[in-house]
C-alpha cells in the first residue's frame, strides 16, 4: 500500500510521547505506526532510584504499554532492536525485520564509563527495571552475608560513583533504606558506610550552589560521606581505587557518573559525539530527512551554545514536536522548530526532602519534595490520564 510507515524505536519518555501524539493527530489510514520496545512495559526512569534502593516497589515505576496506547491505532512489537540500517530503511530486530518510511529513535542512552578500568564489569547501573531489581537484591544480600562473615565490613560499605542527579537521588533513598535494613538484619547502623564519590569540584555541577550545600548537609546528616573532587581511577571486585591510589573496599559499587548514546546509533553509521547525534532544529538526523531522534540519544545546544543535559523533560517535549513534524511531513506541511521550555528541575534527597528550581525560584525541604510529587503525577496524567494517576501515583 502507499500508506507511509512510521517506526518508533523505544518506549521511553520520547518514544511514548511521540506515539501518543501520533495516535491523537493522525487520521484513519494516514500512516501505519509501529512502536518497538524491549519490554511490554514502559518504565519511569526518573523514579528508578526508589526501587533501586528498595524504598518503593518496582511495580510503581512501570506501566504496561497496552494500557497506554490504543492498539487499534498503533502496532506494538515487543522485541529488541539489534541494528538500524538507514541505507535500506530497515530495522533489524532479534526476531525479524521492519521496514520504514519514517524512523523515530528513542532507545535511551547507556552508562558512560569514561574508560575507567573495571567499571563496566564490576559496577551496577540504575537504568531499567531489571537493573534496579538486581541492585535492590544485591544490597539486601550484603546484609545477610555480613551476618555470616562479620569480619567483612566491606559488605556494609556502599559506594555511589557520581554526584549528578541520579547519584544524589539514589543516595538519598539509600540513606533512608539503611536503618530499615539494619533493623531487619540486626546490624549496628554505625558499621554501615555510604560514600558518594565525584570527580568534579562540586556535587550537582551547574546547579544552584546554595541548594547544593543544603542538599549535601541533609545527606551528610543521614550518614553519607562525600568525596567530592575525587576521581575513581579503577573499579575492582574488591571496591574502588581513588585519587592517588587510595583503596576503598566495598562489595557494592553503583555507577551514575554519566550517560552516552546507545551503541546502535554509532553502529548505524551516524556521526556522533559521545554516542549522540547532533540533530537539526526539527529533530532530524543530518543527511536523513526521514529519521528523527528524541531523548538521550539526541544532542541539542541551547542559545548560549551549551548542550542541553539529557532529561525526561526534554525527551517529552521532543516527542510532541517529533509527532507534529511527522504528521506535517506526511501532509506536506511546514515543520515546526523545537524550542526547549525549561519547567525547572527538582532533585529528591529521600523522604520529605528535596531541592529544586522552578518558576525562577529556589525551593528546598518539604515544599520541594511536594513539587517533585506534583511533577511525577503530572507525568502520569499526561501519558495515562486520571486512571494511571490513581493506580501509580504516590500521594504521601
Ligand atoms: P528512556 O526513558 O531511557 O527509554 C528508552 C526505552 O528504550 C526503554 O523503554 C528501553 O527498554 C528501550 N530500549 C533500549 N534499548 C532497546 C533495544 N535495543 N530494543 C528495544 N528497546 C530498547 N530527568 C528529568 O527530566 N527529571 C528527573 O527528575 C530525572 N530523574 C532521573 C532519575 C534517575 C534515577 C535516572 C536514571 C534518570 C533521571 N532523569 C531525569 C533522566 C531521564 O530519566 C532520561 O533523560 C530519560 O529517561 C530519557 O528518555 P528517553 O526517551 O531517551 O529513553
321-362 pLDDT, tens digit each: 999 999 999 999 999 999 999 999 999 999 999 999 998 899
Active site residue 169: yes
Is residue 395 very low, low, confident or very high in pLDDT (cuts 50, 70, 90)? Answer: low
Pocket of ligand 1 (CB under 6 A): 10-15, 36-39, 45-46, 48-49, 80-81, 106-108, 126, 128, 165-166, 169, 295-296, 310-313, 315
Non-local (6+) Cβ contacts of 179 within 8 A are 189
Closest atom of ligand 1 to 39 CA is 11
Q: How far apart are CA 284 and CA 293, in angstroms?
A: 6
**Does residue 83 carry a pLDDT above 80?**
yes
**Distance from the alpha carbon of residue 45 to the mean position of ligand 1, in angstroms:** 5
Structure ipTM over 0.95, yes or no: yes
What average pLDDT does the segment 295-319 reach?
95
**Distance from the alpha carbon of residue 343 to the mean position of ligand 1, in angstroms:** 18
Provide the grid cell at 331.
501532509
Q: How far apart are CA 288 and CA 185, in angstroms?
A: 57
Model pLDDT for residues 121-174, shown as the tens digit of each residue: 999 999 999 999 999 999 999 999 999 999 999 999 999 999 999 999 999 999
Which of the following is catalytic: 169, 173, 198, 353?
169
**Does residue 396 carry a pLDDT above 60?**
no
The C-alpha cell 515543520 sits at: 335
Is residue 234 very low, low, confident or very high in pLDDT (cuts 50, 70, 90)? Answer: very high
Model pLDDT for residues 364-389, shown as the tens digit of each residue: 999 999 999 999 999 999 999 999 99
Helix (H, G, I), strand (E, B) or coil at 100: coil
What average pLDDT does the segment 304-324 reach?
96
Is residue 314 very low, low, confident or very high in pLDDT (cuts 50, 70, 90)? Answer: very high
Provide the grid cell at 65.
504499554
**Does residue 217 carry a pLDDT above 90?**
yes
The C-alpha cell 541533609 sits at: 218
Question: What pLDDT was estimated at residue 1?
Answer: 64
Question: What pLDDT was estimated at residue 315?
Answer: 98
What average pLDDT does the segment 285-293 reach?
97
User: pTM higher than 0.90 for the full model?
Assistant: yes
Question: What pLDDT was estimated at residue 284?
Answer: 98
Helix (H, G, I), strand (E, B) or coil at 219: helix
Percent of the chain with pLDDT over 70: 99
Domain boundaries, the chain: 5-38+79-111+260-333, 113-257+344-396
- 5-38+79-111+260-333 shares its CATH topology with 113-257+344-396: yes
Helix (H, G, I), strand (E, B) or coil at 352: coil
Provide the grid cell at 362.
529556589
Distances (CA, A) of 359 to 289, 297, 307, 309: 36, 27, 21, 19
Percent of the chain with pLDDT over 90: 94
Q: With CA atoms as reference, report the closest residue to 330 among 10, 32, 9.
A: 32
The C-alpha cell 537504568 sits at: 127
Question: What pLDDT was estimated at residue 392?
Answer: 87
Contact 126, 137 (CB under 8 A): no
Mean pLDDT of the chain: 96
- The class (CATH top level) of 5-38+79-111+260-333 is alpha beta
Q: Candidates 2.40.50.100, 3.30.950.10, 3.30.1240.10, 3.50.50.100; correct CATH number of 113-257+344-396?
A: 3.50.50.100
Q: How far apart are CA 305 and CA 344, in angstroms?
A: 19
Q: How far apart are CA 299 and CA 314, in angstroms?
A: 11
Question: What pLDDT was estimated at residue 207?
Answer: 93
Contact 139, 252 (CB under 8 A): yes
Q: Using CB atoms within 10 A of its CB, is residue 252 exposed (0-12), middle (13-18) or buried (19+)?
A: buried
Is residue 394 very low, low, confident or very high in pLDDT (cuts 50, 70, 90)? Answer: confident
Ordered alpha helix ranges (H), 26-124: 49-53, 65-68, 119-122
Q: How far apart are CA 142 and CA 258, in angstroms?
A: 26
Residue with the nearest Cα to atom 37 of ligand 1? Answer: 46
Model pLDDT for residues 182-198, shown as the tens digit of each residue: 999 999 999 999 999 99
Amino acid at each position: 500500500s502507499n500508506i507511509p510507515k512510521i517506526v518508533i524505536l523505544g518506549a521511553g519518555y520520547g518514544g511514548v510521547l511521540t506515539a501518543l501524539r501520533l495516535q491523537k493527530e493522525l487520521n484513519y489510514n494516514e500512516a501505519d505506526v509501529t512502536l518497538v520496545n524491549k519490554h511490554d512495559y514502559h518504565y519511569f526512569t526518573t523514579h528508578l532510584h526508589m526501587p533501586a534502593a528498595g524504598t518503593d516497589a518496582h511495580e510503581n515505576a512501570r506501566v504496561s504499554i497496552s494500557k497506554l496506547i490504543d492498539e487499534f491505532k498503533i502496532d506494538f512489537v515487543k522485541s529488541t532492536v539489534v541494528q538500524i540500517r538507514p541505507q535500506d530503511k530497515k530495522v533489524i530486530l532479534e526476531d525479524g525485520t521492519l521496514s520504514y518510511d519514517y524512523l523515530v529513535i528513542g532507545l535511551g542512552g547507556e552508562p558512560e564509563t569514561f574508560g575507567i578500568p573495571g567499571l563496566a564489569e564490576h559496577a551496577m547501573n540504575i537504568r531499567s527495571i531489571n537493573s534496579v531489581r538486581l541492585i535492590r537484591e544485591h544490597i539486601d544480600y550484603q546484609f545477610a552475608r555480613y551476618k555470616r562473615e562479620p569480619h567483612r565490613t566491606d559488605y556494609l560499605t556502599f559506594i555511589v560513583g557520581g554526584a549528578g542527579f541520579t547519584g544524589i537521588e539514589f543516595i538519598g533513598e539509600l540513606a533512608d533504606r539503611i536503618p530499615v535494613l539494619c533493623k531487619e538484619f540486626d546490624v549496628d547502623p554505625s558499621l554501615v558506610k555510604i560514600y558518594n564519590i565525584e570527580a568534579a569540584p562540586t556535587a550537582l555541577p551547574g546547579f544552584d550552589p546554595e541548594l547544593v550545600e543544603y542538599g549535601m548537609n541533609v545527606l551528610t546528616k543521614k550518614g553519607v560521606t562525600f568525596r567530592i573532587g575525587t576521581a575513581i581511577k579503577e573499579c575492582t571486585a574488591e571496591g574502588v581505587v581513588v585519587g592517588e591510589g587510595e583503596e576503598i573496599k566495598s562489595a557494592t559499587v553503583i555507577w551514575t557518573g554519566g550517560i552516552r548514546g546507545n551503541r546502535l546509533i554509532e553502529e548505524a553509521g551516524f556521526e556522533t559525539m559521545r554516542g549522540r547525534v547532533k540533530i537539526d532544529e526539527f529533530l532530524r538526523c543530518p543527511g536523513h530527512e526521514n529519521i528523527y531522534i528524541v531523548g538521550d540519544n539526541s544532542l541539542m545546544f541551547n542559545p548560549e551554545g551549551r548542550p542541553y543535559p539529557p532529561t525526561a523533560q526534554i525527551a517529552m517535549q521532543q516527542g510532541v514536536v517529533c509527532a507534529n513534524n511527522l504528521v506535517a511531513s506526511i501532509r506536506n506541511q511546514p515543520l515546526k522548530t523545537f524550542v526547549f521550555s525549561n519547567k525547572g528541575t527538582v532533585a529528591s534527597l529521600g523522604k520529605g526532602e528535596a531541592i529544586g528550581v522552578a518558576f525562577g525560584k529556589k525551593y528546598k525541604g518539604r515544599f520541594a519534595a511536594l513539587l517533585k510529587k506534583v511533577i511525577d503525577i503530572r507525568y502520569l496524567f499526561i501519558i495515562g490520564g486520571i486512571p494511571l494517576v490513581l493506580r501509580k501515583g504516590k500521594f504521601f
